[in-house]
Amino acid sequence: MTWFDESRLDDATALGAADLRLRTLAESGARVRRGAGEAADAAREGAARAQDARPRAVIAAGPDSRLLRAVLEPACPVPFVAWPGPALPGWAGSLDLVVVLAPDGNDAGTASAVAEAVRRGCQVVVACPPTSMVAEHAAGRWSTVLPTTTADQLAVAVVALAFLAEVGLGPQADPDTVAEALDAVALSCTPHRDIAVNPAKMLAICLADANPLLWGGSVLAARAARRVAESIRRTTGRTALAGDADVLLPVLEATRPRDVFDDPFADGGARELRPVLVVLDDGAEGPVVREQRGRLQAAAQGVGVRVETVAAEGVGDVARYASLLLTGTYAAEYLRLGLVED
């Protein structure tokens, strides 16, 4: 039987065994700064070329295009399309800008999409390792390669977003601001901070005997919820569901109301994993967000389901997204650490 031993979250030996994974999370801010520094010269040269003409449309291509869409779609002053497949839309041409994130740099499908964009005469901006297959296929008169050496998707995305903000095609995404938000999370969620004052450890304890339902009101908070759910599933093998209010409400409404007289030691100690609603709050306060949050919380309270809120730190949409994502990923790692087999 698997059970959760919360004492492991403050145990030096157990934390030492997870040191590499936790250290990788703590270095998130440093990777953002390093990525921005590595791409600074290329970004300046590309921005100077891009000042001549605004593109007809921006196409975010490749498997990581959805993060760019979440940030750019509400703010981009020209039509924006996310195209996650290995090809480009048929109408893409010399008037359009194609943006590609390729942290690995050796994906054949992404390289094919970049080569097609160059062949059609598109403006191309690619964030990828400078000696990778994708960088080789990006060579062209209207291409800008933003060199990166990290596989961290967020750090690579910030490089591209900072460039697009510089040329007036997206909101501000200052790498230093994002890195500061990540550093703040690393300090508050460090393994050296005990359970009583560590938000990630406390969240892990809340998720220990539950099936998490994760919800974010804004587009970016919803994406962070999906990424955190993926982390929980990957680290623990347990169910974790992220979705819109209309997806989560039926789950809450179908939950058996909590009975205060339930015996947790019945059936040999086997316990039902009830849902817990985790609200990722990035500060969005539109009427739709308030209405959906209210419906979810009312449904949860009606059946005795706990509600946990993860609040974002940082200034700007990207920084708050990064804060939510890192806090949730820390919690997933602490959940993995505390789960033990009898």
Residues 82 and 224 reside in one and the same domain: no
Contact call for residues 309 and 283 (beta carbons, < 8 A)? no
- Rounded to an integer, the average pLDDT of 66-86 is 87
CATH number of the domain within which 99 lies: 3.40.50.10490
Residue 263: pLDDT over 60: no
Domain boundary, last residue among 173, 205, 239:
173
Rounded Cα gap, residues 147 and 155, in angstroms: 12
Number of folded domains in the chain?
2
User: Has residue 180 been placed in a domain?
Assistant: no
pTM for the whole structure? 0.92
User: Has residue 186 been placed in a domain?
Assistant: no
pLDDT of residue 331: 97
Expressed as residue numbers, the domain containing 138 is 29-173
Rounded Cα gap, residues 138 and 125, in angstroms: 8
Residues 82 and 7 reside in one and the same domain: no
Domain boundary, last residue among 129, 146, 173:
173
Residues 210 and 308 reside in one and the same domain: yes
Residues 14 and 41 reside in one and the same domain: no
User: Has residue 217 been placed in a domain?
Assistant: yes
User: Has residue 183 been placed in a domain?
Assistant: no
Specify the amino acid at residue 29. Answer: G
Rounded Cα gap, residues 44 and 63, in angstroms: 26
C-alpha separations of 178 from 159, 172, 310 in Å: 11, 11, 17
How confident is the model over 165-224, as pLDDT tens digits?
999 998 888 999 999 999 999 999 999 999 999 999 999 999 998 999 999 999 999 999
Query: Which segments of 189-304 does DSSP mark as H helices, in order?
Result: 199-207, 219-236, 245-253, 287-302
